[in-house]
Amino acid sequence: MRRTLVINLDRCSGCDSCVTVCKYENGLQLGEYYNRVVAVGPYGDFPRVSMYWLPIQCQQCENPQCVHVCPTGASYRDEKTGVVLVNADKCIGCSYCIYACPYGVRSLNKETNVAQKCTLCSQLTADGSDVPVCVHNCPTGARFFGDLDDPDSEASQELARYDDDCIHSLSDPKNAGPTCKYILSPKYAEWKEIHQ
């Protein structure tokens, strides 16, 4: 099982609703984020100028570097769901996982000294009956959640609607195997990944 997000950038308006509801649901402190939206562009030459918004959160990697460097086993990939999680009771606050993440999507909670990140709202989605709040509250319907190994999941069905040239992943410099997928149709903009 590979539970993850599929984000359709053809629909994303860069409104930051996903960022806001994530902070509220997870009780994040000022300056802490599990999700952020980066403006890519504008680029190109007039009159063919393009721009899009790129939401970035944990990529739910199949070979997560954060897990490999964790000295206590606090960072792990759930065998049942494929979601990368942190066991707060085992975390010693060493920050190795934060530095190992190629996407810069982990942080250290200043109050608890525990590494934290997007869990795909595992408190809501663990039994499969709900979706992450960022998916539920996206006003443009740009976010999809599901198991990529299940062709009937909403995430897989959204990917199936598009050709391969429309489907992208963030670059993978450490062979982490990000499962999060992005849809960006060439008729709207050329994929020019910018992150960190």
Asked whether the bond before 173 is cis by omega within 30 degrees of 0, the reply is no
* pLDDT at 95 (0 to 100): 97
For residue 194, is pLDDT > 80?
no
> How confident is the model over 119-152, as pLDDT tens digits?
999 999 988 789 999 999 999 999 999 999 999 9
Measured CA to CA in angstroms, residue 59 lies from 36, 44, 47 at distances of 13, 28, 34
Question: pLDDT tens digits for 52-72?
Answer: 999 999 999 999 999 999 999
Task: State residue 126's pLDDT score.
Answer: 83
Share of the chain above pLDDT 70, in %: 98
Instruction: Render the burial of 37-66: b for 16+ CB within 10 Å, e for the rest.
Output: beebeeeeeeeeeeebbbbbbbbbbeebbb
Amino acid at 186: P
Tokens of 132: 């992450």
